[in-house]
Amino acid sequence: MLKRLYEWTLEKAGHPKAERWLAGISFVESSFFPIPPDVMLLPMCLARPDRALRYALICTIASVIGALLGYAIGYFLFETVGQAILDLYGLGEEFEGFASAFNEQGWLIVLLAGFTPLPFKVITIAAGATAMPLHVLIFAAIIARGARFFLVAILLWKFGEPMKAFIDKYFAILTVLAGILLVGGFIALRYIF
């Protein structure tokens, strides 16, 4: 089923209303959809490098707005919808232990999940379920999602097809390393100031 969803999402990159599809997929991926918008962002940036930054902005805005839906699911509908989504990702049983750690380091977790291949929807639902301050979620989501989508867009705009092959091959490793650098930078700033 995931492969079919992946192919369906990839197909939308060539649709005449691809930008709307990109926004829609970025929105729902932040709250419940399993396929990341990168699946569309990559081929769209390669096809129209002059619009790469526009596409990254669309992904960022829609993803942050989608994070608000994920938050609402966690805050208002956790027992019904939120728990079912966490169970789908195999995280339902561990959520209680995760929730206590989330309350302590939530902003850091949102930054890391928003930038890496971790399921962002799980984090946005957890933010609502644990009543994370909404401004913290929004600020961290803007930084993390913006950094992720703009990095991909800029690399594809600058280096094109060879960069796509490199990103496809090492996507998980690259995003985890970049996430560690991003979070490390924030921790370093915290200790400096």
Tell me which residue of 64, 73, 143 sits closest to 108, measured CA to CA: 143
Q: Alpha-carbon distance 148 to 178, whole Å?
A: 9
Q: Whole-structure pTM over 0.95, yes or no?
A: no
Determine the pLDDT at residue 40: 86
Q: Which residue has the higher pLDDT, 186 or 137?
A: 137
pLDDT score of 55 more than 60: yes
Q: Is the pLDDT assigned to residue 74 strictly greater than 90?
A: yes
**Confidence at 124, pLDDT banded by 50, 70, 90:** very high
* Span 38-55, average pLDDT: 88
What mean pLDDT do residues 58-78 have? 96
Average pLDDT on 72-79 reads 94
Q: Using 50, 70 and 90 to split pLDDT, how confident is the model at 77?
A: very high
Question: What's the mean pLDDT when you consider all of the chain?
Answer: 82
Average of per-residue pLDDT across 79-98? 80
Residues in contact with 71: Cβ distance below 8 Å, sequence separation at least 6, in sequence order: 124, 125, 127, 128, 132, 134, 137
pLDDT at 156 over 70: yes
48: amino acid identity, one letter: R
Q: Which residue has the higher pLDDT, 95 or 23?
A: 23
